Amino acid sequence: MEILLAKTAGFCFGVKRAVETVYSEVENGGHIYTFGPIIHNEQVVSDLEKKGVVTLNSIEELLSVTSGTVIIRSHGVSEEIYKIIESKGLNLVDATCPFVKKIHRIVKEESQKGRQVIVIGNSKHPEVEGIIGWCDAKKPAIVIESHDEACNFTADPNEKISIVSQTTFNFNKFQELVEILSKKGYDVNVVNTICNATEERQKEAKDISSKADAMIVIGGSKSSNSQKLYEICSRECENTQFVQTSDDLNPDSIRSVSRVGITAGASTPKNIIEEVQNYVRLNF
Ligand code: F3S
């Protein structure tokens, strides 16, 4: 059996950096907290819990912390969270991905210039919640995700608009929405802040699944980028399965095929990818 393993499978640069940051803080000792789960991977989060790392799931939980280190994950957070951590005298370790950090800077500057910031993305995603939290409170950002939302957008005719994107947004959709907004006659400044890591991973997944007889997508159950990979692969290869670890594999769908493709979402650790790959190699 031939195994086609995606080169882009697993942690992206930002996630790898964030996870390594937590493990290295654990080594340093003391009370360690992450604001939100460090990644959408149950195995990693539970391993860190065993090492004493506590996940804070809300501002209220953050407010109840009296000492220790708070780590900000790769998605980033609003400016308010930084202020709370500093005001409480907690040790702040910032593992925000530098690509997300760049968006925070752009949004803050544009907003301070009096421009209306539009974020193309999903308003419920933590990264977007963090981004909009860097805008001037007097001029809150507007989040646009759909064709209809872009068509319905209106503002003062003299409004100056600055558009950025959630890092994992689909590039074609971003272009489509930007085109709709640009035709409305406002002074528009567009900064494409989509991260290449997602696009490259999706392209490779599409390519491999189109050649495979069976496709395995490895990811956390709550990982939206892994779910998206599953959708892409399912369109190319009917025999696609989504697993969190090798325990979830359905052997019947792999048994009699000659080519198996494997990819994994940005929150899947290398050891889980290797474990699935070895399982397939040794058992079929
Ligand atoms: Fe950063 Fe791109 Fe990953 S923005 S967290 S390297 S998907």
Helix (H) or strand (E) holding 146: none
Closest Cα partner for 244 from 215, 265, 214, 213?
A: 265
Q: Is the CB of 230 under 6 A from ligand 1?
A: no
CA-closest residue to ligand 1 atom 1? 14
Q: Is pLDDT of 172 > 90?
A: no
Which pLDDT tens digit goes with each residue over 44-98?
999 999 999 999 999 999 999 999 999 999 999 999 999 999 999 999 999 999 9
Q: Which residues form the catalytic set?
A: 127
Q: Please tell me the residue having the least CA distance from ligand 1 atom 5.
A: 14
CB-based contacts of 278, cutoff 8 Å, min separation 6: none
Q: How far is CA 19 from CA 37, 38, 180, 183, 243, in A?
A: 10, 7, 38, 42, 21
What average pLDDT score do residues 12-28 get?
95
Distance 160 CA to ligand 1 centre (A): 29
pLDDT at 43 over 90: no
Rounded Cα distance between 214 and 236, Å, is 10
pLDDT tens-digit readout, 177-190: 999 999 999 999 99
> Which is the closest atom of ligand 1 to the Cα of 99?
4
